[in-house]
Structure 1
Amino acid sequence: MDQNTIDEGKTIAIISYITLIGTLVAYLMNNSKQNEFAKFHIGQALRAWLTGILVTIIAGMLVSITGIEILMYLQYTGLILAILGLINAMNGRMEEIPLVGHIGKKAS
């Protein structure tokens, strides 16, 4: 991927990591442009936010069952993954986020 494509898609990629609504806005912004850099980061942001929602639900259930309230810190998982993706987008890198960045990709 050339530097021009990265520079054109960087703003959309950054927007995608600003909450789940930002991911939707970035998707709509990139719908006509079809920038590959932005598309990659929109997918990574979606994985980060959905993971955060899922882990928060599971952590809430575990806390109510076990009473171990420290498990509620797991609710920050999505935010941490989004911050890691945001750093990659700002630096112009196409690196997958840890743990879930590869989910849903086609095998090549």
Structure 2
Amino acid sequence: MIVLSTFSNGDQSDIDKNKGIAILAYIIFFIPLLTAKDSKFAMYHANQGLLLLITAVGINIISTVIPFIGWWIIGPLGNLAVFVLLILGIINAANGQRKPLPLIGGFEILK
């Protein structure tokens, strides 16, 4: 079950302070681990960024292992899907939302 988490008004300062870090988490997921490990908002987006990285690596491994279908169908469509999820995650972080990515966002690796 995926539940959209909302922040209380007391967490608005956390969102405002760490919005840039949360955006960077989708490009380099470990940035919040080093700079904002006390921020629930930044760590949430670091988790989403890590899930996105694992998905991208998995898609690229699968597309490399399976000849023809992987190279011509799975690889391009999978990488396009990862790019769309990347944009959605960045938009959510920029808007101060704690919204899981479609399909993969329900998992929690970083706590």
Alignment match of 1:48 (pick from 27, 48, 52): 52
| 2:46 alignment partner, SS class | helix
How big is the alpha-carbon RMSD for the aligned residues of Structure 1 and Structure 2? 1.6
Alignment match of 1:26 (pick from 24, 32, 35): 32
User: Across the two proteins, how many residue pairs are aligned to each other?
Assistant: 97
TM-score normalised by L of structure 1: 0.79
1:89 deviates by: 0.2
1:30 deviates by: 1.2
Richer in helix (by share): 1
Runs of 4 or more consecutive aligned structure 1 residues displaced over 2 Å after TM superposition: 75-80
Report which stretch shifted further, 70-79 or 92-101: 70-79
Q: Spell out, residue by residue over 1:33-68, the C-alpha distance to the aligned partner (whole angstroms, 9 max, x if none).
A: x11111111111110111111111112222x1xx23
1:70 deviates by: 2.5
Task: Return the structure number with greater relative CO, CA threshold 8 A, min gap 6.
Answer: 2
Contact 2:36 2:42 survives alignment (8 Å): yes
TM-score normalised by L of structure 2: 0.77
Aligned to 2:83: 79
1:77 deviates by: 3.3
Q: Spell out, residue by residue over 1:78-105, the C-alpha distance to the aligned partner (whole angstroms, 9 max, x if none).
A: 3322221111000111000011101137
In structure 2, the gaps of 5 or more residues are: 1-6
Q: Spell out, residue by residue over 1:3-25, the C-alpha distance to the aligned partner (whole angstroms, 9 max, x if none).
A: 2121112111011112xxx2122
Report which stretch shifted further, 39-48 or 72-81: 72-81
